[in-house]
């Protein structure tokens, strides 16, 4: 739990680029508050010199002055409101950018430990809260503080005795504000957390709506959701209770204090020690001060909630980047040949550190060589691909690309050497064209089409009514597994990088399409170092060498014929899996 001041340095960092506007907004705020204060003096003159003195010329004069003052106040309010709200929007946009940029750097390990729904909630709800506080609550608090202090000062100048009475009343008003405010802040964070939890739950269940409905899980989900929502409600109920109490307490205490003080003031006017105008002005200021105090008590809850939100945003924006480029990256040769040395590589996923996934793996792969990886599922084949692209740090051993340890390379440069067709082809919610172009953003439309023709994707794309402009994914056309794979292959073909990683790239294709795509892949593999995770004999037989991986260990390396003779496991696989 942090107090608002703890997150201020971070926020100020975002306001700094706009300091001119901040200063201008603060000046407007000050001007607006000062003219409000001057209004009290206008009221005093109106009563004493115009009204009580029965001087109508003076009355007109003063009324006109008051009207001008009102116009000035409105102008200042306009400028302050515009600038402050603008700053709120600007700062929250900048924060969103900063947080998102940081999130792009975080490794799969981070995301495996955090639910995306929660991240999204922080991203949207917390920044929105922050935006409203920077844009309005904060300026309300500041304005109220200025008018409260100024009002008190004017009160003291008008009647010292009555002000002393007011000051005696202040601790009585302030004490409950502080105590209840603290309580509200604590409850706010609790309810914000609960809400993030609901967001994450909805995200998960709606994302997997097919599975939810197929297994008739709706009733369970409904129940679970309702109980989560109820928890949000409970947390909110407490918060609302204490806020309501806070507002009511401030009202009751401040108004009773004012009534009592005006009673004392009226006696003073009757005794002749204070003029009627002075009492009127005093009451004007007292109402202003009380109103300001009430505003502060109201927005202080918002500000405290925003402090909690900011704290979570800071957490997100400063989550440690576990996989990063070294400060001074080593250089790769200008033309990457694609030699890979895997040296006594061991690995366990960080979140299940006690389970070894790869164990003392060693392998030298020549430039341009074609390697097939085979073995029972769960053997660590996909994991090896992940390590080659350095999504994780090996627990021991190293991987060298053209003789350079990949952990010493610039991360983006390393990953730019690999074209990957993953086990589960990923489709983004955009057009077919953009989905393929993902492989190389500067590719021309013709190049995209060529890649699709080679990947045998062109045929089905042309059957869509909008062809390459067809929207895919979330709100567009859903593709079959085989179609997705062909898009992913086209993407890799377009990327055309020195090393190719195919993770069961054609597993979802029917025999005929597979054969056709295979021809295209053959072409693509020419002159490239290729690692192919495959379960079909044809792919494996054409490989220069085969790596047999089982339970994280490299059991055997060699050609198809060699492995058939050497390894009983390979024989078994060849009979059961590869041949089928
Ligand atoms: P293969 O591709 O050979 O079928 P994987 O490399 O996918 O095997 O998986 C190897 C082992 O690592 C399996 O036991 C699997 O459960 C585990 N594993 C895979 N991905 C993760 C992950 N992201 N987090 C934790 N464990 C994982
Ligand atoms: Mg796999």
For residue 580, what are its two tokens? 């089928």
In total, the chain counts a number of residues equal to 580
The tokens describing 95, both together, are: 């924060």
**DSSP output for 93-144:** HHHHHHHHHHHHHS-HHHHHSS-HHHHHHIIIIIHHHHHHIIIIIHHHHHHH
Is there a single domain that holds both residue 293 and residue 376? no
pLDDT at residue 577, as a whole number: 67
Protein residue with its CA nearest to atom 19 in ligand 1: 383
Question: Cα(100) to centroid of ligand 2, in Å?
Answer: 29
* Residue appearing with tokens 């109103």: 291
Residue 557: closest CA among 531, 576, 580, 524: 531
Residues 17 and 53 both lie in one domain: yes
CATH code at position 537: 3.40.50.300
Domain match, 286 and 390 both: no
Give, as one character, the DSSP assignment of residue 567: -
Report pTM.
0.77
Q: Which two tokens stand for residue 380?
A: 């660590």
How many C-beta atoms lie closer than 10 Å to residue 21's C-beta?
A: 16
Is 380 close to ligand 1, i.e. is its CB under 6 Å away? yes
From ligand 1's centre to the CA of 381, what distance in Å? 8
46 CA from centroid of ligand 2 (Å):
85
Q: Is the CB of 403 under 6 A from ligand 1?
A: no
Residue where a domain stops, chosen among 285, 317, 349:
317
Query: What is the residue range of 17's domain?
Result: 4-317
CA of 369 to the centre of ligand 1 (A): 25
Same-domain status, 293 and 395: no
pLDDT for the residue 563: 92
Q: Are the C-beta atoms of 303 and 8 separated by less than 8 Å?
A: no
C-beta of 110 in contact with ligand 1 (< 6 A): no
Q: Is residue 327 included in any domain, yes or no?
A: no
Is residue 310 one of the residues assigned to a domain?
yes
- Ion ligand 2 neighbours (CB, 5 A) are 382
Instruction: Name the burial class of residue 306, with classes exposed (0-12), middle (13-18) and buried (19+) by CB atoms within 10 angstroms of its CB.
Output: buried
Digitized pLDDT (tens) for each residue of the chain, 580 residues in all:
446 677 888 888 999 999 999 999 999 999 998 988 898 899 899 888 888 888 889 999 999 999 999 999 999 999 999 999 999 999 989 999 999 999 999 999 998 888 777 788 788 888 888 888 888 888 888 889 999 999 989 999 888 888 888 788 777 777 877 788 788 878 887 888 888 888 888 888 888 888 889 988 899 999 999 999 998 888 889 888 988 988 888 788 778 877 888 888 889 989 988 898 999 899 889 888 878 887 887 788 788 888 888 888 888 888 999 899 999 999 998 889 999 999 999 999 998 999 999 999 999 999 999 999 999 989 999 999 999 999 999 999 999 999 999 999 999 999 999 999 998 888 999 999 999 999 999 999 999 999 999 998 999 999 999 999 999 987 778 888 889 989 999 999 999 899 999 998 888 888 887 887 888 788 888 889 999 998 777 778 889 999 999 999 999 999 999 999 999 999 988 887 655 4
pLDDT score for 133:
84
Kindly state whether residues 313 and 344 are assigned to the same domain: no
State how many domains the chain has. Answer: 2
383, 386, 393: which to mutate for ligand 1, most atoms within 8 A of CB? 383
Indicate which ligand has the atom closest to the C-alpha of 349: 1
Pocket lining: 378 vs ligand 1, CB cutoff 6 Å: yes
Residues 361 and 233 in one domain: no
Indicate if 285 and 417 belong to the same structural domain. no
Ligand 1, atom 22: closest residue by C-alpha: 349
């Amino acid at each position: 739990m942090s107090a608002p001041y703890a997150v201020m340095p971070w926020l100020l960092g975002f306001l700094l680029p706009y300091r001119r506007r901040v200063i201008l907004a603060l000046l407007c705020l000050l001007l607006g508050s000062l003219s409000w204060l001057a209004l009290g003096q206008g009221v005093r003159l109106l009563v004493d010199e115009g009204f009580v003195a029965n001087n109508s010329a003076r009355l007109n004069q003063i009324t006109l002055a008051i009207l001008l003052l009102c116009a000035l106040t409105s102008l200042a309010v306009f400028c302050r409101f515009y600038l402050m709200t603008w700053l709120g929007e600007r700062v929250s946009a900048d924060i969103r950018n900063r947080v998102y940029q940081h999130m792009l750097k975080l490794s799969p390990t981070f995301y495996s430990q955090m639910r995306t729904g929660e991240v999204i909630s922080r991203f949207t709800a917390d920044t929105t809260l922050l935006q409203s506080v920077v844009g309005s609550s904060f300026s309300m608090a500041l304005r109220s503080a200025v008018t409260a202090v100024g009002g008190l000062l004017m009160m003291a100048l008008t009647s010292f005795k009555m002000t002393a009475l007011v000051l005696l009343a202040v601790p009585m008003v302030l004490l409950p504000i502080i105590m209840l405010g603290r309580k509200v802040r604590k409850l706010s964070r609790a309810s914000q957390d609960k809400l993030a939890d609901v967001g994450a739950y909805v995200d998960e269940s709606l994302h997997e709506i097919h599975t939810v409905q197929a297994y008739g899980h709706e009733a369970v989900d409904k129940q679970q959701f309702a109980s989560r929502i109820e928890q949000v409600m409970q947390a909110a109920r407490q918060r609302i209770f204490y806020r309501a109490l806070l507002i009511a307490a401030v009202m009751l205490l401040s108004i009773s204090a004012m009534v009592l003080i005006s009673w004392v003031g009226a006696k003073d006017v009757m005794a002749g020690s204070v003029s009627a105008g002075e009492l009127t002005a005093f009451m004007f200021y007292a109402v202003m001060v009380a109103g300001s105090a009430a505003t502060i008590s109201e927005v202080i809850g918002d500000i405290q909630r925003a402090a909690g939100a900011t704290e979570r945003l800071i957490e997100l924006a400063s989550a440690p980047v576990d996989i990063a480029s070294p400060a001074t990256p080593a250089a790769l040769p200008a033309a990457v040949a694609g030699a890979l040395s895997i040296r006594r590589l061991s690995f366990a996923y960080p979140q299940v550190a006690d389970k070894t996934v790869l164990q003392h793996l060693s392998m030298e792969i020549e430039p341009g060589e074609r390697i097939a990886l085979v073995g029972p599922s769960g053997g660590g084949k996909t994991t090896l691909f992940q390590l080659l692209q350095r999504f994780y740090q090996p627990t021991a051993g190293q991987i060298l690309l053209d003789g350079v340890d990949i952990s010493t390379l610039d991360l983006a440069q390393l990953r730019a050497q690999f074209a990957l067709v993953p086990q589960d082809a990923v489709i983004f919610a955009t057009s077919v064209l953009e989905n393929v172009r993902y492989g190389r953003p500067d590719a021309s439309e013709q190049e995209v089409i060529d890649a699709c023709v080679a990947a045998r994707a062109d045929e089905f794309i042309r059957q869509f009514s909008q062809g390459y402009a067809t929207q895919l994914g979330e709100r567009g056309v859903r593709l079959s597994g085989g179609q997705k794979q062909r898009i992913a292959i086209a993407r890799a073909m377009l990327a055309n990088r020195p090393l190719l990683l195919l993770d069961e790239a054609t597993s979802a294709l029917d025999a005929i399409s597979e054969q056709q795509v295979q021809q295209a892949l053959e072409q693509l593999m020419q002159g490239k170092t290729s690692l192919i995770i495959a379960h079909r004999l044809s792919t494996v037989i054409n490989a220069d060498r085969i790596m047999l991986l089982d339970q994280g260990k490299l059991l055997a390396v060699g050609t198809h014929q060699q492995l058939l003779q050497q390894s009983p496991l390979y024989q078994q696989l060849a009979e059961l899996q590869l041949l089928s």
